[in-house]
Amino acid sequence: MKTLGIFRHAKSDWNDARLRDFDRPLNERGRKGAAVMGKHIRDHAVGWKCVLASPAVRVTQTIELACEAAGETPPITWDRRIYLANSAALLDMLRDQDGDPASIMLVGHNPGLEDLIFDLVPDDGSCPLRDIVEDKFPTAAYAVLELDIDEWSGIAENCGRLVHLVRPRDLDPTLGPTAIS
């Protein structure tokens, strides 16, 4: 069995229209969400052996703030292929992992991360957490999948179980969607 973590970057700032998408930083809510999620990820205690992350600014800031709040920094590999990657590309990256670590966390972007969950977890009604992801995998959401594989090269569709899902608003209601009146 292998363990896959999926951590979406926190809420980004759209105020500077001159910035390329890749260069957008986190907004204040995103900064707070990244820190809250960092503590949760630490307390969830998977012990990530490898982190594969997009080098986009909003991802690097999410990881920096999460690690600072957690008080620990796992080994991180920055890989530009994760930026805007679809599920098929993410699966290929996972299949090619050297050293065959027991656990890998991907930190990146939607829709690729969300679609990866859909591809790995069967849509057979047995996973209520999958239903939540179908509704929305929001910024700074964190998911953990257990994969029925012995080596990363064997990762394939429907080989996983979604065993943990936390959104920032689950830990701090002020980080949820704002009410519309």
Structural domains in the chain, CATH included, are 2-174 (3.40.50.1240)
Mean pLDDT, rounded, for 167-171: 94
SS3 of the chain: the string is: CEEEEEEECCCECCCCCCCCHHHCCECHHHHHHHHHHHHHHHHHCCCCCEEEECCCHHHHHHHHHHHHHHCCCCCEEECHHHCCCCHHHHHHHHHCCCCCCCEEEEEECCCHHHHHHHHHCCCCCCCHHHHHHHHCCCCCCEEEEEECCCCHHHCCCCCEEEEEEECHHHHCHHHCCCCCC
pLDDT exceeds 70 at position 103: yes
Q: Is the pLDDT of residue 181 over 70?
A: no
* Contact (CB, 8 A) for 12 and 25: yes
Q: What is the mean pLDDT of residues 10-34?
A: 93
User: What is the per-residue pLDDT across 53-74, written as a single tens digit (0 to 9) for each?
Assistant: 999 999 999 999 999 999 988 9
Average pLDDT, whole number, for the chain? 93
Q: What is the pLDDT of residue 96?
A: 93
Q: Which of 40-49, 111-120, 122-131, 159-168 has the lowest mean pLDDT?
A: 40-49
Residue 177 has pLDDT above 70, yes or no: yes
